[in-house]
């Protein structure tokens, strides 16, 4: 099988157990995590990285769909947050070691690297990209978090990033999107981070008055090449993706990468069915690595 551009081609196959609903409940989100997958693929890399029962997501190849592993960063630690809340850290590991483990397991053509601290504080930190490049030599990086100007984005690309995601700054003025498109071309991905139908900004710590449809229309008018859409209320919950949201965004005709709540092949298939080109997986990936308990 041929890997799709910017997708993840995994080494073996695995059988996954689908969950019946995509609804998320705050009280049972952690209980959901044990309902993931059963592996039939065998250990990756001889089992040196992963305890038994924690390899099945990594052993899957999703036909017709791109799957991007996500690494979120606070300080210089890899973390996962629940619903983007900084006081709800699900795990914390040294960044360099975690990236190296993810890359060894998945060998991804593209790694999604998010500076959560940079998003909150308004400046992507060069140390995050430098660590990513050091820990994953030869692996293209898609970076996000606190990229507030065309010049800052261009500097990240010049340093070694493959793609940059811009959210807050993309919608600050009527001409912002066009300026980013002109300056970055296809290397630009625009973030639509959605909470209760509105676009969240500044590391999800603020919510704008911009609706999803209004943001989508601006993206179409500016000829944005790709959208990275996150259902904030699903992120880190293992509650399943917000299919209605992604279907709405996909109708805009721009390629969409979906993030938030992605657990298993059932979710991947459902996202493909509504028109997404790719999905980001973070919490389920950490579970399969044995970093986060199911």
Write out the catalytic residue numbers: 72, 193
Those residues whose C-beta lies under 8 Å from the C-beta of residue 34, and which sit 6 or more positions away, are 294
Q: What are phi and psi of 153, to 5 degrees?
A: -65, -45
Determine which helix (DSSP H) or strand (DSSP E) holds 271, and give its type and residue range: helix 265-274
Length of the chain as a residue count: 294
Those residues whose C-beta lies under 8 Å from the C-beta of residue 221, and which sit 6 or more positions away, are 177
| β strands within 162-216, DSSP E | 163-166, 188-195, 198-201, 206-211
Instruction: Tell me the DSSP string of 101-119.
Output: HHHHHH--S-EEEEEHHHH
Distances (CA, A) of 93 to 42, 47, 231, 233, 288: 25, 20, 25, 24, 15
| Strand 278-281, strand 15-16: pairing | unpaired
SS3 255: coil
SS3 90: strand
Return d(Cα 192, Cα 221) in angstroms, integer.
15
CB atoms within 10 A of CB 282: 27
Taking alpha carbons only, the member of 245, 191, 255 closest to residue 225 is 255
């Amino acid at each position: 099988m041929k890997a799709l551009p910017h997708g993840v081609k995994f080494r073996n196959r695995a059988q996954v157990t689908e969950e019946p609903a995509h609804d998320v409940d705050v009280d049972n989100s952690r209980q959901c995590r044990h309902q993931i997958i059963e592996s039939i693929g065998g250990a990756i890399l001889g089992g040196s990285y992963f305890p038994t029962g924690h390899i099945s997501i990594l052993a899957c190849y999703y036909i017709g769909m791109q799957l991007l592993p996500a690494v979120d960063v606070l300080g210089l630690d890899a973390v996962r947050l629940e619903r983007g809340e900084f006081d709800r850290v699900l795990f914390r590991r040294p960044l360099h070691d975690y990236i190296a483990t993810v890359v060894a397991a998945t060998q991804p053509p593209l790694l999604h690297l998010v500076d959560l601290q940079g998003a909150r504080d308004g400046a992507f930190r060069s140390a995050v990209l430098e660590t990513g490049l050091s820990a994953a030599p030869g692996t293209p990086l898609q970076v996000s978090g606190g990229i507030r100007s065309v010049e800052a984005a261009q500097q990240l690309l010049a340093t070694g990033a493959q793609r940059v995601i811009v959210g807050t700054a993309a919608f600050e003025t009527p001409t912002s999107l066009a300026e980013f498109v002109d300056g970055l071309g296809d290397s630009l991905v625009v973030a639509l981070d959605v909470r209760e139908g509105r676009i969240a900004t500044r590391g999800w710590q603020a919510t704008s008055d911009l609706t999803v449809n209004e943001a989508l229309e601006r993206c179409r008018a500016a000829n944005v090449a790709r959208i990275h859409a996150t259902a904030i209320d699903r992120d880190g919950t293992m509650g399943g993706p917000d299919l209605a949201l992604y279907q709405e965004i996909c109708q805009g005709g721009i390629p969409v990468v979906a993030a938030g709540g992605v657990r298993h092949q059932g979710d991947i298939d459902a996202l493909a069915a509504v028109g997404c080109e790719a999905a980001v997986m973070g919490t389920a990936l950490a579970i399969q690595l044995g970093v986060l308990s199911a």
